[in-house]
């Protein structure tokens, strides 16, 4: 028997999953800005960071896929945080203020977690990593 007859053909290794094209520094910058725009919108409007990521997502969704993905992720996270904060405030008012003994500290915790996760996401996006926020409802697809 010939050695070549009994050998099984070796197939090439599959390509790694994900996008093989490198992410440009301009696109990474816009992705980072998609996350940091939430902070800027919160400081300017004090109603939450939904407006900033929404603008970045709408402007860049057709031209920069990575930036659009990260802005959409930031938008979904900030919508989730806004819903949670609104529910805590409503809970406080429905209980005639007594609920604010629970809702107040929880609002502080939500605010601190929001700030930390937004900064982590911005740093990851600047490094070109795909970041997904934990505990997020994916409402915008």
pLDDT digits (tens, 9 = 90+) for 72-109: 999 999 999 999 999 999 999 999 999 999 999 999 99
Show Cβ contacts of residue 22 under 8 Å, excluding neighbours closer than 6 positions. 128
State residue 44's pLDDT score: 84
pTM of full prediction above 0.75: yes
State residue 79's pLDDT score: 94
State residue 22's pLDDT score: 85
State residue 18's pLDDT score: 52
Please give the Cα distance from 50 to 48 (Å, whole number). 6
State residue 4's pLDDT score: 52
**95 token code pair:** 């209980």
Angle at 54 between CA 123 and CA 124, to 5 degrees: 10
Regions of the chain where pLDDT drops below 70: 1-20, 46-48
Other C-beta atoms lying within 10 Å of the C-beta of residue 13: 6
Other C-beta atoms lying within 10 Å of the C-beta of residue 49: 27
């Amino acid at each position: 028997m010939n050695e070549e007859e009994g050998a099984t053909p070796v197939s090439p290794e599959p390509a790694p999953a994900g996008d093989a094209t490198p992410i440009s520094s301009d696109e990474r910058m816009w992705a980072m800005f998609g996350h940091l725009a939430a902070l800027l919108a919160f400081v300017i409007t004090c109603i939450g960071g939904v407006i900033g990521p929404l603008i970045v997502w709408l402007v860049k969704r057709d031209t920069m896929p990575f930036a659009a993905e990260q802005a959409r992720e930031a938008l979904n996270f900030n919508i989730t945080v806004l819903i949670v904060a609104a529910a805590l405030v409503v809970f406080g008012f429905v209980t005639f203020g007594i609920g604010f003994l629970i809702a107040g500290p929880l609002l502080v915790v939500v605010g601190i977690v929001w700030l930390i996760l937004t900064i982590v996401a911005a740093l990851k996006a600047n490094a070109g990593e795909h970041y997904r926020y934990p505990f997020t409802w994916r409402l915008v697809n």
